[in-house]
Amino acid sequence: MTSLAGVLLFPFLLLSAGAPAPTADDIATALLESKDYVEASSRLKQLHNDLPNPTWALKPLLDRVVAGTDNSEHLKAVCHADAWSDGAWWLEMQSAAYDAVGAAPGNFVRRYLDGNDCALLVLIYALKWPSESLDIIHECESTLGDALAQTDRDLAAIRSQVLSMVDLHDPAPRHRVIFATVNVLVDAWPPNRDDYLRWCKQQKEEGQSSP
């Protein structure tokens, strides 16, 4: 899957040698005990000098959900931070969510169906990422078609696994919510993709016609 992590190497992977990396439990506690972005940055820096802001906390927290070793505090910490973060956070959040959901969509569906609303937020961010990152991740180059075709396959795989877990006969509204949410967001991708391809074609034609 294509994400910011593939373009800007996730800082959490670059922790300096010597100091042990903080655990997901440590990171969750630091975020949950913070009232805003500034305090969270300070608490994370106390855990490790190479963790100066909350966006770097996303991967270890979401990785626990992917591995199925998370507890309720991990997703709770993600949503707690999301409530007071800015545009830079949302880009990182969407990117990290896309990687995590792509790796284990069923784990996030299961958390939501079990009552964890934050899991739905992560799913929403993940499925919005392809459309909202088109001009960030992809350049108008010869490999663009292959990259977008891979995104088509990724989203189809996510939708297939998510919907296989949904029971529309279940009286619980969560099944219908996730069914509608996933279909709406995945269906939004093709027109956004095609608009971007048309824009790239226009840019190329304008470039060729310039003196």
Q: What is the pLDDT of residues 98-153, one digit of tens each?
A: 999 999 999 999 999 999 999 999 999 999 999 999 988 788 888 888 999 999 99
Average pLDDT over residues 12-25: 66
d(CA 155, CA 127): 8
At 181 the pLDDT is 97
pLDDT at 211 exceeding the cut of 60: no
Cβ-in-10-Å burial (0-12, 13-18, 19+) of 118 comes to buried
Q: Which residue has the tokens 């016609």?
A: 209
- pTM here is 0.86
pLDDT at 167 exceeding the cut of 70: yes
Q: What does the DSSP 8-state code read for residue 15? A: P
Average pLDDT over residues 65-72: 95
At 120 the pLDDT is 97
pLDDT at 9 exceeding the cut of 90: no
Which is more confident, 46 or 66? 66
